[in-house]
Amino acid sequence: MTPLDDQQLATKTWFESLRDRITAEFEAIEREAGSDASFTFTPWDRTERDAEGNETPGGGVRGQMNGKVFEKVGVNVSTVGGAFSPEFAASIPGADDDPSFFATGISLVAHMANPHVPAVHMNTRFLTTTRRWFGGGADLNPALPDDEDTAAFHARLRAACAAHDPTFYPRFSKWAEEYFWLPHRQVARGVGGIFFDRLEDHFEPHFAFTRDVGEAFLDIFPQIVRRRMDQPFTDADRQALLEYRGRYVEFNLLFDRGTLFGLKTGGNIDAILMSLPPLARWA
C-alpha cells in the first residue's frame, strides 16, 4: 500500500477525530431523551491500484444510529484511492493527464424524528490528484422552517468563515443556495448554509478553515436539536416531514456530487446511500 504523505495523514486523522466527537455528542442527546440508542460502526476495506499499478488505500468506517431523537443518522469517514475512469477523470481537476487520486473526508446526514428538529447535512473532504484541494459545507433542511434556527445556523457558519476570509460567507452561502436547488421542482432543498469546493494551493489556511467548519457544525447543530426535540407535533406535521424527505431523496439521487463521486469510484454502497431517510412520502 502506498504510504500516506503528511497532508493526507493529517486530514484523515482530523476527519476521524471529528467523527468521534460528533457521534459522542449525538449519543449524549439520546441519553438526555431517555434513549439508550448508540452508533453501530461498520468498517469496510477496498484495495485498488493507481495508474502505475501501486496498491492504494481504500476503506473507511460507516457509523449509523437509529434512536428516539435521531430517527436515522449516519456519520461516515472514508479514505479511498485508485485511478479515475478516463471519462470521469476529464471532469476532475488535475486528473486529465494522470488519473490517480486520493480522497478522504467525513460525511454526515441526520434525519430527525420530531418534525420541528431540522434534518442536516455536513461534509468536508480533501482530494488529491496532481492538484490538491478542500471542499465541503453544511446546510440545514427543516420540514417546518423556523426563523430562529435558520438565523442561528447561518450566524455560526458566518462567524467561522469571517475568521478566515471576509469573502467566504457571501461566496459560499450563495454557492449553497445555487447548489442545493431542485430545478425540476424550482424549490430549494432546505434553508441553506455554505458550500465550497476546490480550495487549493494553500494547505495550512484551507485546512484550518475546513476544521473550523466542522467545529461550527458541532457547536450549533446540537443546540438546535436540544431546543426543538421535545416540542409537540401533530400528525399533519409528521406528514409534512415525510413529504419533505421525498425532496431530499430526489436531490441526493439526482444531483448530489458526493453520491455521484462515491458511485463512480467504487465506494461502499451502504455508506454512500446512508443519506437516504428511513421513511419518506410522495403525495
The residues assigned a catalytic role are: 121
Gap between the Cα atoms of 264 and 234, Å rounded: 41
Gap between the Cα atoms of 258 and 273, Å rounded: 10
Task: Give the residue carrying C-alpha cell 457558519.
Answer: 157
Instruction: Work out the burial of residue 87: count CB atoms within 10 Å of its CB; fewer than 13 is exposed, 13-18 middle, 19 or more buried.
Output: exposed
Name 252's bridge partners: none
Gap between the Cα atoms of 255 and 175, Å rounded: 14
Contact between 89 and 131 (Cβ < 8 Å): no
Burial 164-201 (b: 16+ CB within 10 A, else e): beeebbeebbebbbebbeeeeeeebbbbbbbbbbebee
Task: Give the residue carrying C-alpha cell 451502504.
Answer: 270
Burial 93-103 (b: 16+ CB within 10 A, else e): ebbeeebbbbb
Contact between 265 and 85 (Cβ < 8 Å): no
